Amino acid sequence: MESIKDKIAIIGMGCCKFGENWNKSPEDMIIEAAYEAYEDAGIDPKDIQAAWLGTVGAHWVGMGGLALAEPLKLQGIPITRVENWCATGHEALRNASFAVACGMYDIAIAVGFEKLKDTGFPGLGIGRGMHPVMEMRRTAPSSFAFIATRYFHTYGLSPEEGKETIAKIAVKNHKNGSMHPKAHFQKEITLEQAVKAPIIAWPLGLFDCCGNSDGAAVAIITRADLAKKFRDDPIYIKGIGLSQNSMMPHFQPGFDWTGFEVTQIAAKQAYEQAGIKNPRKEIDLAVVHDCFTITELIIYEDLGFSPKGKAKEDIDAGTFALDGELPVNTDGGLKCFGHPVGASGLRMSYEIYKQLQGKGDKRQVKNAEIGLAHTLGGHPSVSCVMLYGNDRG
């Protein structure tokens, strides 16, 4: 099995302002992100040879690549719509990367977007199941509340201790997001605010949940050996891991509800490709799937940043703060950008891309060379880990 390491370079990226974009259509957001990426890559729309679109919205299912072709007037090139739960944005980039790596195309574009604020519901929906009754009232907050309840139980955290621990993650991410002009939420919050917020799905409160936002993000890629023709500081893909569970955790016998094997496996795949042995030491920053604060906590453990059951110690020590040993969610994460599903994986990659180019502004992580972006989706049942570096090894 070959590795994807150093075969693909990102030469341009774009990201629209995330938020309650009442006045913008999906098309408006795609245009905003795509033209930023064109300019960043220094290419003309006509240079694009193939496109991948990631979106999960019911409007677009069964509509092929139309939602991308129309706004950008991508005439005549192949467009493929992909979806893979919350890893959808990553999935667009992942598939584009394979097509370019095999030599079929020199320049491809990966686009992800979602328009959540047109549904009339302040969440991802209730009962999003594959069967008429099996998941009647399943919500995303409850699926992760299962984790919080069981994690607190297993590792002996009282509800108060547990809630305070995950609230620290919310405080950290809001602080980072306050420094990002494209974030939906750009305000800091206090620990007390986070702990005392109204309960959405016990034990998760309002500030434990990510926002519900609209957004779009875009990546333009080429073969690594062509990258320097476009710019001096392309960012290289070092590893791509993707893992899918064979049974919904809710029904999976023996599932321990304190972590996700899919994240662990996706990380292992990516680390092996990139040659990473000690992720905590070798990775300079990570942007991960903090759909809920408890999710970020278990991700620390699943990605090998913290030993199993010990994330609290690292959280208390500030390990993952902007000035910590391994900054996580330097842009504010899903907590501040919300989770327009198809866009999220690419929005995370946008932050890593900028940081590795030294364009992190007030959030710049010193000497950032290797970055990780992670998505986790479904019940959850799928995870994608992408590793990026600014040096073609």
Partner 1 sequence: MVGIKSYGAYIPISRMNRDIIGNAWGTRSIGGERSVANHDEDSLTMAVEAAINCLNGEDRQGVEGLFFASTTSPYKEKACSSIVATVADLNKEIWTSDFANSLRAGTSAVRAALNAIKSGEAKSIMVTAADCRLGTPRSVDEQTFGDGAAAILLGDSDVIATIEDVYSVSDDITDVWRTDQDTFVRSWEDRWVLINGYTKNMKAAISGIMKKSGLTPKDFTKVVLYSPDARSHLDLAKSLGFDPRTQLQDPLITTIGNVGTAQPLVLLVSALEEAKAGDRILLASYGDGSDVFIIQVTDAIEKVKNKRGVKRSVGLKMMLSSYEKYLAYRQLVSLPEEFIKLFPSASVMWRTQKWVLSCHGSKCKHCGLVSFPIQRVCFGCHSRDEFEEVRLSDKKGKVFTYSLDNLAGGVDPPTVQTIVESEEGGARIYCLMTDCNPKEVNVGLPVEMTFRRFHREGGFYNYFWKCRPAR
Q: Write the DSSP symbol of residue 19.
A: B
Q: How far apart are CA 188 and CA 176, in angstroms?
A: 8
**Alpha carbons 143 and 112: distance in angstroms, whole number:** 24
Select 46 or 131, whichever has its Cβ closest to partner 1.
131
Nearer to partner 1, 33 or 210 (CB): 210
Stretch that binds partner 1, among 117-125, 163-171, 277-285, 360-368 (CB under 8 A): 117-125
Catalytic residue among 15, 16, 86, 210: 86
Minimum distance of partner 1 from residue 194's CB (angstroms): 17
Q: Which region, judged by CB under 8 A, interacts with partner 1, from 144-152, 165-173, 317-325, 327-335?
A: 144-152
What DSSP element (H or E) covers 96? helix 88-101
387/349 Cα distance (integer angstroms) = 9
- Residues between 188 and 207 with contacts to partner 1, criterion CB under 8 A: 198-204
Choosing from 174, 180, 339, 379, the catalytic residue is 339
**Backbone angles phi and psi of 108, in degrees to 5:** -135, 160
150 contributes a contact to partner 1 by CB under 8 A:
yes
Distance CA 356, CA 122 (A): 34
The CA-atom distances, in angstroms, between 38 and each of 79, 283, 369 are 17, 29, 24
Which residue of 76, 132, 181, 393 would you call a contact of partner 1, by CB under 8 A? 132
Q: Which range binds partner 1 by CB under 8 A, 62-70, 119-127, 264-272, 307-315?
A: 119-127
Beta carbon nearer to partner 1, 179 or 204: 204
339 among known catalytic residues: yes
What residues pair up with 219 in beta bridges, in sequence order? 13, 110
Is residue 286 within 8 A of residue 372, CB to CB? The reply is: yes
Nearer to partner 1, 43 or 209 (CB): 209
- Taking the CA of residue 309 as centre, how many other CA atoms within 13 Å lie in the half-sphere pointing to its CB? 7
Per-residue binding letters, 238-277, with partner 1 (x by CB under 8 A): --------xxx-xxxxxx-x--------------------
The verdict on 146 binding partner 1 (CB under 8 A) reads yes
Of 71, 161, 54, residue with least CA distance to 114: 54
In angstroms, give the least distance from the CB of 378 to partner 1.
14
Of 223, 266, 218, which Cα lies nearest the Cα of 372?
Answer: 266
Distance in angstroms (rounded) separating the CA atoms of residues 373 and 378: 17
241 and 385 in contact (C-beta within 8 Å)? Answer: yes
Cβ of residue 147: shortest distance to partner 1, in angstroms?
A: 8
Who contacts 358 (Cβ-Cβ below 8 Å, separation ≥6)? 364, 368
Instruction: Name which of 38 and 60 has its Cβ closer to partner 1.
Output: 60
What number of chain residues touch partner 1 (CB under 8 A)?
A: 44
Our finding on whether 158 is near partner 1 (CB under 8 A) is no
Which of 247/317 has CB closer to partner 1?
A: 247
Q: What is the C-alpha to C-alpha distance for residues 235 and 228, in angstroms, rounded to an integer? A: 10
Q: How far is the CB of 243 from partner 1 (least distance, A)?
A: 16
Footprint of partner 1 on this chain (CB under 8 A)? 58, 119-121, 123, 125-129, 131-139, 141-142, 145-147, 149-150, 153, 198-204, 246-248, 250-255, 257
Active site positions, annotated: 86, 339
